[in-house]
Structure 1
Amino acid sequence: MPFEDPTEKTALLEELGATLERPTSRRSHAVFRRVGRIGQLAIGLLLVIGGGFHYLNHGQLPEKYGVVKDRTCLTPSCIHASSEILYNLSPNYKELDPCTDFEELVCGGWKERHDLRPDQGDAFTGTIMSENSQRLLRHILEAPYPKDSRHSYFSPMQLSAGDKSEDEKNFDKMKAVYDACLDEETIKKAGTAPLIKILREVIRLFPVTQKSGVVTEDDHASIGDTVLYLAQQGISALISPGTGADDTDPDTVIVAVSAPYRIGLPAKERYLDEKLLARYQAVISEVLPALFPDQEISNSTIESLVSFEKELAAVSPSPEDRNDVTKYYNPMTLSEASALTPQLNLSHIILSLSPPHVEIPRVIVMTPSYQKNLSSILSDTEKSTLQTYFLWKAVQSLHTYISSPILTPYTRFSNELAGKAPDSVPERWRTCVSHVDDGVGWILSRFFVEKAFSAKAKEFGDRIVSDIKALFIEKLKKTQWMEASVIDAAINKVHNIIQKIGYPTKSPDIMDPHALGEFYSSVSVSSDEYFANALALRQFQVKEEWSALGKPVDREKWDMTVPTVNAYYNPPGNEIVFPAGIMQFPVFDVNLPEYVSYGAFASVAGHELSHAFDSTGRHYDQNGNYTDWWTEKTVREFEKRAECFIEQYANFSIEGPDGRPLHVNGRLTLGENIADAGGVAAGFGAWKRRAEEAPNADLPGLEFFSQSQLFFVSYANWWCGKSTKETAVNRIYNDPHAPKWARILGTMANSREFRESFGCGRKEPVCELW
């Protein structure tokens, strides 16, 4: 999902109690992952200035005025919002047909006025929100601990002196992570030495001699030890083990094993491009021998490495199968899972990662076919090839923490694969803010939320999400294709959905300095050891994930840090989660007419709630259990309607690597496309209900549009963006979301309310579920 920019509050905004905006993006690494938003309102003020009415109270008209002649909101927040929308509109927006070209109408100006930086493969409104949040975080990280600043009522700064001391220690730990990352001179001096140390350990664990030959049974222990060592550093090699809630028993933490999510190139389809493979091989031939001038890594060994990766890619699951619970949920005993690929010594890997004395009653083998094929591939693989593979996985995973010209060929190659300028690098502070968020993100969240969030925003977010739930229940009651028993169960599921808004208050409570300090107590970092810090933080995350085994699922945990400009629905937890990062302008603002926040944020909230009933979510009941709770007739009716979405989005295409059309994968993107349609329908219905109770004010300069039309303009504004061809291609292969322009066009084509609001000739949606 999405991002915006921090601006200083004016004295007037301060006086009126207006809130300003910021955001960011991130995600967690555990094997089980699935991915939503929030709302409520406050007191309004009516200012009479020069005889004109200026409205606050979420841009709503005071009830006693009814419909007045001049109902335009002229507060700084409303003027800012209007200018943003007008800035993004196509210069010819009045001449364009919204029914056929809505993306260009809303986003034409955005595309003209926003250029990708050389280090960017794509960007959209969410990217800008994220970058604005990053700037705010930079200011926090580069300033002293805020001892004398004013603080919100929920700030730890309101606590006792002892608590302040603990809070400051947490700040210092976060600052050390940031400062070490910024210290490029020290990083350059260290060169490749820290990485070489890791690679030497790989060689020690999996030694090779000139007479080694192919992998034999004698090598199984060494292979297992090497895969385990890399896994402890957060590196997936051959397999990807992890933990998460058991789909059929969502209160129990279970082990899962899958194929690596990335073999080496960005997508398995990339291994079919022989020219690209030749470039890839040439890059590896430049990098690995230069890292190990005293180690014989021949061109033939590197050629074998690329062929080995190509074999792994060929037997890896497709992205749509990887995301399909009916295909990845394969419970086995630990011995059964180990027997699929005996060369891995899987039992040893899992038991070593697990806490002592914890039983492993079963393992979810997400990709059994891959693991069987992997066994056959390993039986025919030279040990030298396998060792080189292990070394290369470590280089690919850890190279960003190293500054050395030896690694330049690979960074250039990676940039080119994303369509970036070959020698481009992000500004260092951007890299380091992200590094802090990835490593000690809950400490960073504590300082972010105090600057960028408010009690009023949380209330408004809670209200919006509650409105969406109520509206969705009404839609379910009117659904004709679902049988009555399924509708009743679906309504119960909506009632049971947990909504998490803004920031976590448990596991850890980010506003409790002691809780934060305890959470990161095992992490030791310094302000001059960037690589060592990165490794320590990776190891901490691995241990934290595996430490959950043997305990009930912690339903208080969040999978995204607070600055993240994103949201998610978690099926086993039956929860929708909206970090404060996404609750920022222009997606969300308590000081604007509500069609703005409902058009964007409520549609996102509806999107996440719709995931509870999409092609994946429908398999989970009201308690998060993976079970068949739909009747056969309802399933048939759902699949018939789902096929419409599959065919509709498969008609969208981009230019492929060979210059031919590369079509959107309608099956891979099905869940997201269903959620987009459901989200907009729920968001619009929820806003209409609120607007009937309290009419909204107009935004200045946008008289061309009705308020209903501006709801959809606000929605589409969120997806305005652009991409390099290369990044667009990679996303078609792997991303369960359709391209952003297609999300606008497809969703509007599927919205009855959109087509009625803009007077389109055909009012019937192309595809519809709810």
Structure 2
Amino acid sequence: MPQRQARPSTDEGNYYIYQSAPLLQDNLGNGGPHPSPAPSITDRLGSILQNPLTTLNKILLILLLVFLLLSSIFIGLFIGSQHKLNIEPGTPGGKHPPSTFTSIVTVPSITTATVTTTSVTTVTRAPAPGPSSPPEEASKECFTPECVVLSAAILSSLDTSQDPCENFYEYATGGWRKAHPLPSDKGRFGNFNLLFQENQQIVRDILNFNGSIAIASLKESADKQLLTKLRNLYYSCMDEDTLDQLGEGPLNDFVGRIQKLYRGQSTEIANAKGSNNQQEGLTAALAFLHSRGVPALFEFGVEGDAAVDPNFMILWFQQPRLGLPSKEYFEDQTMRKVYESVLEHLLSPHYGEEENRHMSQVLVNNEDAVNVWPPWPWPPWGDDDGDGDDSPEHRRKNATELAGEVVRFEWKLARASLDLDILYQDPLYTYNKVPISNITETVTQVNFPNYFATFTPRNYPTEVIVTYPAYTRSLTSILNDTDTDVLEAYLVTRAALALAPRLGTSTESWKAVRNLQEVLQGIKPGAVGDRAEYCVNSVDQALGFATGRYFVNETFAGDSKEKGTKVITDIVKAFKESLPHISWMDKDSAVAAAEKADAIRVKVGYPVSPNTLSSQSLLRYYALVKIGKFGYFNNMLSASASDVYKEWQQLGKRRDLDAWEMTPATVNAYFNPPANEIVFPAGILRPPFFNKDWPPYLNYGAFGQVASHELTHAFDSAGRLYNQEGKLEEWWTNATSERFKERQDCLERQYSAYTVEDGHGGKVHVNGNLTSGENIGDSGIIQAYRAWKAQYDDSFKAGNEYLLPGLNYTRDQLFFIAFGRIWAENIKPEALVQRVRTDPHSPAQFRVDGTLHNVPEFARAFNCSPRAKLNPPTEKRCLLW
């Protein structure tokens, strides 16, 4: 893939390297099957409200509502009494004396044992918040069942033993984190993941043959075909008996094909002009892998020509993804040994002691392969009866030797790669447009004309954008110094690492890859979650725009789109109005920034291309994806090949301005610099982020953070280098750019001072340079606050800013509580270290406290002391907006 330009805003999510990352980085569904949490009281109440009520249900519902109402009243009375008891006599406004509490945290360890730690901490408790409006407004509370449940959800998220002015993250999320212990099969779990699971449950009900939609009830033939395709893919994944029966076979067949191609068993290509068997073997094997979405040696992709015409799609070349998440892991001797052991297990079936064993039958002879697109073999380079060398001499090294050499080979690739902080944050440095000959004449080990013919037979590229030219030169040198057996083994491990998770869980290859995930993320060994969760995520990866059609029908009705869009447009308006008052931005730059804000395209809910509301459009979009009932491995290969094919077909064409890079059920959002667009799938426009019936102070605090984050990306360290047309250029004045850089450096210093525990008694510093763009994006919360304030009077008069029962907080305070609680998560030290090393987003705690450190409005809302951690003097804040 190219260095993609889209900026998803969360820290969950995507496999591709982005110039700037999304709201979340890791994929919410990766890492294997995940369990669904036990239903909460909110879930049960929601279920009751959505189903026909029996007499018994009606009685129970009334009792439940009475119980919740009484509970909220008692909670309010209790908080009030505690406030009175703790006020220091004679102190204006009251102040709680320091109090000591004991925190007991139980963390599942890497082994089956449980580690319990106890700490005694002294904190200064904040004053109980007072009303922000006249006393008579306190009676304007909402006592509907929905309001009671919402109030209870907010209260249960809090840890009021914490001082909000010292540690607001713990204050806003401590209750949630205690109530949602980390599942044993995950290294990380937060509010984003919880909503993702809820969205998955909706999709899961759609995918079940006896679920919420009966095919016979569908009027359109295209709808019936589409839903059948979705359900067949889902059930091919859920059919664990068949997967266990197939065992390692599908992967062995795939690897066998790689080996035959690599060894030159294709007479047609071997005769190509100027070619040699070794070059053509590597070319054929790489094209085979890349055409099915498996990364190796390098990656190509298609994106806009950012410096010339952002909407003209051109080829991009960049360094590959590695088997370990970052360079630092290859420098860790313990991790290298773990990785080497995993690779040995993956290589053993193909390089074992039985030197004279025959290769597995290739997929071209597999009955299921008939339904796989592109047709096997693909590329069509000869038949399977070539005269390749399969003798014992050709495989003189066993799996153990090869595993060690493959790790050392990848380590060389890692050292030759560009550091992630530059890759993410400097689009000018990573834009290097050159003639295609710069690649073809440098990396001579690959026959690029034949490689490109696999993807673009009628459109041979003449130019390419290289993100890091030094990598191509290093790659050539590394390949020259690498034994052919080691290179073949590397290609085999790339396939196994990517595809083994699609095998049955009883296979050794699946277990080996899972073991690597467990070590990297701190997951309890052997803990495997709900298979259905994994399979729903697989369907969304393969056919996510199709599942989105049914998802939005279930969840995104009424005026949800209009109200969500209003939050976004209000924030854009507030941003534009703030520009003349930004001290570091001169008038010319402010005018240009306003023009860019006006030019930003806002996409909300679901895409027009492919058309979510048209089953015919979706069928055409997924026409190349062939789904068999019992071939999950091949089904996913077909989907991957289709995605690659569709991307390459964009080469030399104009950008489809209606296209999306995220599916409707995704819990994420992104900014795409060359397209100058911010995109918000329906999946994130749900609680705890958004509800069309919530009071605005909650919507602007929670979803407003997502919206302002994406908008601010257009003016962050990388986004500011794209003008209103998405073109890469310096469009601010030099003076404005210099003053902006001063504030960016301030943020880098601030976040680089933060550390996380590594789980072994050490600390790892956050990389303030790597996270610079996302930290700037998070600073946009002030724009959401201003947008809420700007609409407040009209909203209050309309009765929309109503109060919730039992919440002794001002609306301003609830705005910030809504912001803080969306980032609630529990995370293992191993997963946290991986995030610090690879993720352009800061850890959740610093996305909250680090952001509010620079928001004076927060300190005023909570009456923070001038000595409080989150109320520093102005000269110690990093103020941008």
Q: Indicate the percent of aligned positions where both proteins have the same amino acid.
A: 33
Equivalence for 1:75: 144
- State the distance in 1 between where 2:835 and 2:21 align: 17
Query: Cα offset for 1:34?
Result: 4.9
Equivalence for 1:272: 331
Contact 1:245 1:251 in 2 (8 A): yes
Amino acid of the structure 2 residue aligned with 1:286 = H
* One of 303, 311, 328 as aligned partner of 1:244: 303
Equivalence for 1:15: none
Contact 2:689 2:702 in 1 (8 A): yes
**Shift in alpha-carbon separation, 1:34–1:98, aligned structure 2, 3 A:** closer
* One of 610, 614, 622 as aligned partner of 1:512: 614
User: Do structure 1's residue 574 and structure 2's residue 676 form an aligned pair?
Assistant: yes
1:153-196 Cα offsets, whole Å, 9 max, x none, are xxxx6xxx4xx221111000111110100000001111111111
Query: Cα offset for 1:119?
Result: 1.2
**Shift in alpha-carbon separation, 1:518–1:67, aligned structure 2, 3 A:** farther
- State the distance in 2 between where 1:405 and 1:533 align: 19
**Shift in alpha-carbon separation, 1:720–1:198, aligned structure 2, 3 A:** same
Equivalence for 2:692: 590
3-state SS in 2 of match to 1:325:
coil
User: Do structure 1's residue 692 and structure 2's residue 748 form an aligned pair?
Assistant: no
3-state SS in 2 of match to 1:100:
coil
3-state SS in 1 of match to 2:428:
helix
| Counterpart mapping for 1:208-247 below 5 A | 219-247=278-306
**Shift in alpha-carbon separation, 1:347–1:729, aligned structure 2, 3 A:** farther
Mean alpha-carbon deviation: is it higher for 509-518 or for 576-585? Answer: 509-518
3-state SS in 2 of match to 1:701:
coil
| Counterpart mapping for 1:318-717 below 5 A | 318-323=419-424, 324-354=426-456, 356-403=457-504, 404-407=506-509, 408-504=511-607, 506-656=608-758, 659-678=761-780, 680-695=781-796, 696-703=801-808, 705-717=809-821
Mean alpha-carbon deviation: is it higher for 102-111 or for 290-299? Answer: 290-299
Contact 1:2 1:130 in 2 (8 A): no
**Shift in alpha-carbon separation, 1:250–1:611, aligned structure 2, 3 A:** same
Amino acid of the structure 2 residue aligned with 1:731 = R
Equivalence for 2:167: 101
Amino acid of the structure 2 residue aligned with 1:246 = D
Contact 2:264 2:281 in 1 (8 A): no
Query: Cα offset for 1:344?
Result: 2.7
**Shift in alpha-carbon separation, 1:145–1:722, aligned structure 2, 3 A:** closer
Contact 1:88 1:109 in 2 (8 A): yes
Query: Cα offset for 1:147?
Result: 5.9
Unaligned runs of 5+ in 1: 4-23, 38-48, 53-64, 152-156, 210-215
**Shift in alpha-carbon separation, 1:150–1:758, aligned structure 2, 3 A:** farther
User: Do structure 1's residue 194 and structure 2's residue 246 form an aligned pair?
Assistant: no
Amino acid of the structure 1 residue aligned with 2:158 = L
- State the distance in 2 between where 1:545 and 1:134 align: 26
- State the distance in 2 between where 1:67 and 1:362 align: 69
Mean alpha-carbon deviation: is it higher for 328-337 or for 295-304? Answer: 295-304
**Shift in alpha-carbon separation, 1:33–1:562, aligned structure 2, 3 A:** farther
Amino acid of the structure 2 residue aligned with 1:125 = N
User: Do structure 1's residue 85 and structure 2's residue 158 form an aligned pair?
Assistant: no
Contact 1:26 1:560 in 2 (8 A): no
- State the distance in 1 between where 2:325 and 2:12 align: 20
Query: Cα offset for 1:204?
Result: 0.8
- State the distance in 2 between where 1:570 and 1:562 align: 17
**Shift in alpha-carbon separation, 1:758–1:370, aligned structure 2, 3 A:** same
Contact 1:32 1:245 in 2 (8 A): no
Amino acid of the structure 2 residue aligned with 1:429 = A
Amino acid of the structure 1 residue aligned with 2:442 = L
1:24-61 Cα offsets, whole Å, 9 max, x none, are 97547587775369xxxxxxxxxxx99x9xxxxxxxxx
Greater gyration radius: 2
Amino acid of the structure 1 residue aligned with 2:807 = L
Unaligned runs of 5+ in 2: 1-7, 25-64, 70-133, 266-274, 356-394
**Shift in alpha-carbon separation, 1:359–1:282, aligned structure 2, 3 A:** closer
Query: Cα offset for 1:67?
Result: 5.7
- State the distance in 2 between where 1:562 and 1:124 align: 20
- State the distance in 2 between where 1:2 and 1:329 align: 22
3-state SS in 2 of match to 1:363:
strand
* One of 121, 129, 140 as aligned partner of 2:206: 140
Amino acid of the structure 1 residue aligned with 2:262 = F
Query: Cα offset for 1:143?
Result: 4.0
User: Do structure 1's residue 165 and structure 2's residue 221 form an aligned pair?
Assistant: yes
1:665-723 Cα offsets, whole Å, 9 max, x none, are 00000111111112x101111111122222211111111x1110000000000001110
Contact 1:2 1:582 in 2 (8 A): no
Amino acid of the structure 1 residue aligned with 2:157 = N
**Shift in alpha-carbon separation, 1:115–1:146, aligned structure 2, 3 A:** closer
* One of 308, 315, 321 as aligned partner of 2:409: 308
Amino acid of the structure 1 residue aligned with 2:577 = E
Alignment RMSD:
2.5
Amino acid of the structure 2 residue aligned with 1:195 = L
3-state SS in 2 of match to 1:327:
coil
3-state SS in 2 of match to 1:666:
coil
Q: TM-score, with normalisation over the residues of structure 2?
A: 0.77
User: Do structure 1's residue 768 and structure 2's residue 828 form an aligned pair?
Assistant: no
**Shift in alpha-carbon separation, 1:150–1:127, aligned structure 2, 3 A:** farther
Equivalence for 2:359: none
1:241-284 Cα offsets, whole Å, 9 max, x none, are 11112212111001111111x31112211000112212222232
Amino acid of the structure 1 residue aligned with 2:450 = H
Amino acid of the structure 2 residue aligned with 1:193 = G
**Shift in alpha-carbon separation, 1:513–1:674, aligned structure 2, 3 A:** same
Equivalence for 1:55: none
User: Do structure 1's residue 207 and structure 2's residue 263 form an aligned pair?
Assistant: yes
**Shift in alpha-carbon separation, 1:26–1:314, aligned structure 2, 3 A:** closer
- State the distance in 2 between where 1:675 and 1:368 align: 29
Equivalence for 1:284: 343
**Shift in alpha-carbon separation, 1:219–1:150, aligned structure 2, 3 A:** closer
Equivalence for 1:257: 317
1:73-128 Cα offsets, whole Å, 9 max, x none, are 112222122111111111xx1x5321111111111111211111111110111111
Equivalence for 1:118: 184
Amino acid of the structure 2 residue aligned with 1:120 = K
The number of equivalent residue pairs is 702
Mean alpha-carbon deviation: is it higher for 73-82 or for 662-671? Answer: 73-82
Return the structure number with greater relative CO, CA threshold 8 A, min gap 6.
1
- State the distance in 2 between where 1:577 and 1:304 align: 44
Query: Cα offset for 1:658?
Result: 5.7
- State the distance in 2 between where 1:275 and 1:36 align: 32
1:290-336 Cα offsets, whole Å, 9 max, x none, are 34544554232222111111111111111112212122111111111
1:184-232 Cα offsets, whole Å, 9 max, x none, are 00011111111111111111111299xxxxxx97522222221111101
- State the distance in 2 between where 1:490 and 1:419 align: 44
Query: Cα offset for 1:580?
Result: 0.3
Contact 1:36 1:578 in 2 (8 A): no
Amino acid of the structure 1 residue aligned with 2:560 = A
Contact 1:335 1:347 in 2 (8 A): no
Contact 1:2 1:125 in 2 (8 A): no
